[in-house]
Chain A
Amino acid sequence: AQTVTQSQPEMSVQEAETVTLSCTYDTSESNYYLFWYKQPPSRQMILVIRQEAYKQQNATENRFSVNFQKAAKSFSLKISDSQLGDTAMYFCAFIKGGAQKLVFGQGTRLTINP
């Protein structure tokens, strides 16, 4: 079974700093997708970024970028120039190609301090 591990339960940084959230996953599949979701206090799940395993280039979305290390099965999220609105729970998630089940990590609670 696929597993997703986020080893940092909580992180805290100052506004404008750069922060990196860690995620590792375990799979024997070669075709899969990885996601980072943001969950602010409103509870809404918001897609931050998506990475297809077959793509070597790391995905980026404005201030958000990933470091996808396929051989190491690592998928970290970097937030540059962090803002107060980035304060949220962040979940890493995995799905293998053709499957139905999106598997989530335990989450990292990120706090951006003014």
Chain B
Amino acid sequence: NAGVTQTPKFQVLKTGQSMTLQCAQDMNHNSMYWYRQDPGMGLRLIYYSASEGTTDKGEVPNGYNVSRLNKREFSLRLESAAPSQTSVYFCASSEALRSWFFGPGTRLTVL
């Protein structure tokens, strides 16, 4: 039981490049989330998926797209990376909205 896994752990991009962050959970949770963490601002919700086949915007969705590939996997795509997207990205999953499980995070730097 690995919980929530994320790849990659670290990534450096140049402005304008694209990339996809991968997330998978093995707890059979319906809900999955993408957060970004910036100094002094806590974690802010980018997108979430309440169930397979559905996605919704969170607090800071601009510049990102998501795909809920199946119940296990939820990916986050940056189509044209910008320095403002330099951050640590966390994937999370939840069942019954009372227990949340977070992945180890991806540190992304955009030059």
Contact = CB atoms under 8 A, between A and B. Distances in A.
Interface stretch (B13-21, B64-72, B75-83, B97-105): B97-105
B98 A44 contact: no
Contact of B33 (A4, A97, A99, A102): A102
B contact residues, range:
20 to 34
A100 B105 CA distance: 20
A50 B96 CA distance: 14
B43 A104 contact: yes
Contacts of A25: none
Majority-rule SS of A interface residues: loop
B53 interface: no
Interface string B26-55: 000001010100001111110010100000
Nearest to B104: A44
Contact of A100 (B43, B56, B98): B56
Chain A CB within 10 A, most for which of B59, B88, B90, B97? B97
Interface of A: 4, 6, 9, 33, 35, 42-45, 47, 50, 52, 91, 95, 97-107
